[in-house]
Amino acid sequence: MNEHLETILGQLDEVWAVLQKPIFTLKDSKIALTNVIISVAVFLLSIKLAHYLGQLVNRQLKKKGVDSGIRDSLERFTRYTVIAVGVFFSLDNLGLSLNSLAAVGAVLMVGIGFGLQNVTQNFVSGIILLLERPVKRGDIVQVGETSGRVVDIRVRSTIIQTRDEVSIIVPNSKLVSEEVINESFSSNHHAPKKTRQHIKIGVSYAADVDQVQQLLTQAALNHERVLRDPAPRAVFMNFGDSALEFDLRYWLTDIWDKEVVAGDIRTAMIKSLRAAEIEIPFPQMDLNVKNREGSGL
DSSP for 51-110 reads HHHHHHHHHHHHHTT--HHHHHHHHHHHHHHHHHHHHHHHHHHTT--HHHHHHHHHHHHH
pTM score, whole prediction: 0.56
pLDDT of 204 above 80: yes
Residue 78 · residue 86 · CB < 8 Å? no
**Which residues, at least 6 apart from 11, have a Cβ–Cβ distance to it below 8 Å?**
none
Average pLDDT over residues 208-213: 95
Helix or strand holding residue 195 (H, E): strand 195-203
Please tell me the distance from the alpha carbon of residue 55 to that of residue 64, in angstroms, as a whole number: 14
Nearest by Cα to 195 from 249, 247, 264: 249
Asked which of 40-44, 234-238, 262-266 is least confident by mean pLDDT, the reply is: 40-44
pLDDT of 111 above 60: no
pLDDT at 291: 64
- For residue 134, name the pLDDT band (cuts at 50, 70, 90): confident
Q: Which domains, ranges and CATH numbers included, belong to the chain?
A: 10-115 (1.10.287.1260), 137-182 (2.30.30.60), 195-275 (3.30.70.100)
Please tell me the distance from the alpha carbon of residue 215 to that of residue 217, in angstroms, as a whole number: 6
Residue 113 is given by DSSP the state: H
